[in-house]
Amino acid sequence: MSSSGGEAGIDFTAAVEEFCGYLIVQKRYSKHTVSSYRRDLEEVAKSLQKLDVEDWSGANPFNMRTVIATQHSQGLSGRSLARRLSAVRSLFKYLIKHNYIDSNPVAEVPAPKDERGLPETLQIEDIQRLFALEGDDILLLRDRAIFELIYSSGLRLSEAVQLDVNSIETTAGQVRVTGKGSKTRVLPVGSHAIKAVQQWTKRRGEMMSAGSDEQALFISRRGTRLSPRSIQQRLKTLALKTGIPHNVYPHLLRHSFASHMLESSGNLRAVQELLGHADISTTQVYTHLDFQHLAKVYERAHPRATRK
């Protein structure tokens, strides 16, 4: 390649090889990362060639938008295209730095956004079945307290793991959690969850090591803070025992909490506060779930709604 301020051709293959060599030697990127860069750049080069673009100097915002739109229509996700665009931007920054071209043609080209999928939820009947297991086994008491609390207050798994003994006030019916961005919020706790936590805390000492000052509310058999992985496995086991025909995981309880709260109250702002969402657009996904529920009720109930 010759450097002449964008006037000379910049061969697709030669530019990619030179750039990848730079990533390995100068940037010390791993072979796996460089391989991903090369693959993405080669795919973009192929698409440009189909548009009769002869080399990288022929790339511009218009044909690059066409490339991205075409690849998206062929099934490439928005996330994959964002990664691909990032690789192309990096290549052009390199070419500008070495005076091969004057400007970055993809600096303002956005990647298409994927449609946000609706979160799964459990039916209220499934929730009731999940918490219907009776017994005084200490692990069952602990597990029930964890999952009642997650569903009662819409906790993230990470928030439940971080809870200490003094995080919850059973008399006041409140729990203090630290969420994303180290933001603290105080949430109401329902009576069923309060009862489950009280039953667990009465027995918690039996799993504590002698002389331990562990402050975690939920602990393992070894007397240490319970890990996220352990909670996920315990919930899966509990769901199988109750015969729920779903893959049940902690965040599914949070989704179910949000959907059931919105379905009952219709108060989107309140649900946003309870979930600790910084942006209400994150919470609005549950309005779609609520509409789906209403649509199903409508189709079952309205005499002229049934679709043949």
Cα–Cα distance list, 298 to 118, 140, 287, 288 (Å): 20, 39, 16, 15
Higher-confidence position of 36 and 6? 36
- Residue 72 — very low, low, confident or very high, per pLDDT cuts 50/70/90? confident
242-247 mean pLDDT: 82
What is the model's pLDDT at position 241? 86
Quote the radius of gyration of the chain (alpha carbons, Å): 27
Query: Rounded to whole angstroms, how far apart are CA atoms 306 and 308?
Result: 6
Beta carbons within 10 angstroms of residue 203's beta carbon: 15
Domain limits, CATH 1.10.443.10, in the chain: 124-301
Measured distance CA(116)–CA(219) in Å, rounded: 35
* DSSP per residue, 156-210: -HHHHHH-BGGGEETTTTEEEEE-GGG-EEEEE--HHHHHHHHHHHHHGGGGSPT
Whole-number pLDDT of residue 296: 57
Catalytic residue, chosen from 37, 100, 151, 286, is 286
pLDDT of residue 5: 44
Taking 80 as the threshold, does the pLDDT of residue 277 lie above it?
Answer: no
Strands 174-178 and 184-188: antiparallel
Mean pLDDT of the chain: 84
Active site residue 37: no
In sequence order, the 6+-apart residues with CB closer than 8 A to the CB of 113 are 78
Q: Which of 180, 202, 229, 296 is catalytic?
A: 180
Topology, domain 124-301? hpI Integrase; Chain A (1.10.443)
- 254 catalytic residue (yes or no): yes
Catalytic residue among 144, 156, 255, 260: 156
Q: With 90 as the cut, is the pLDDT of residue 12 above it?
A: yes
Catalytic residue among 144, 204, 234, 254: 254
Q: Is 286 a catalytic residue?
A: yes
| The pLDDT of residue 291 is above 90 | no
- Which of 60-69, 102-111, 262-271 is predicted with the least confidence, judged by mean pLDDT? 262-271
Whether 251 is a known active-site residue: answer yes
Cα angle 74, 76, 82 (rounded to 5 degrees) comes to 135
- The label of the residue with tokens 């990288």 reads 56
Is residue 38 flagged as an active site residue? no
* Dist. CA 244–CA 122, nearest whole Å: 9
Residues 6+ apart with CB under 8 A from 1: 8, 10, 11, 14, 15, 18, 100
Is 100 assigned a catalytic role? no
Q: Is 277 exposed, middle or buried (0-12, 13-18, 19+ CB in 10 A)?
A: middle
In this prediction, what percent of the chain has a pLDDT beyond 70? 83
Q: How many residues does the chain have?
A: 308
SS3 at position 12: helix
pLDDT at 268: 67
> Given 176, 185, 192, 277, which residue is catalytic?
277
Task: Tell me, yes or no, if the pTM score tops 0.75.
Answer: no
Query: What is the rounded distance in angstroms from the CA atom of residue 155 to the CA atom of residue 208?
Result: 25
**What are the counts of helices (DSSP H) followed by strands (DSSP E) for the chain?**
13, 3
Ranges for all domains in the chain classified under CATH 1.10.150? 12-97
Which residue has better confidence, 232 or 279? 232
Q: Which CATH number fits domain 12-97: 1.10.150, 1.20.1260, 1.10.3470, 1.10.10?
A: 1.10.150
Q: Is the dihedral of CA 144, 145, 151, 157 positive or negative?
A: negative
| Sign, Cα dihedral of 222, 225, 227, 231 | positive
Q: Helices 285-301 and 268-275 sit at what angle, rounded to 10 degrees?
A: 130
**In this predicted structure, which of 157-161, 183-187, 257-261, 291-295 has the lowest mean pLDDT?**
291-295
Q: Is the pLDDT of residue 307 over 60?
A: no
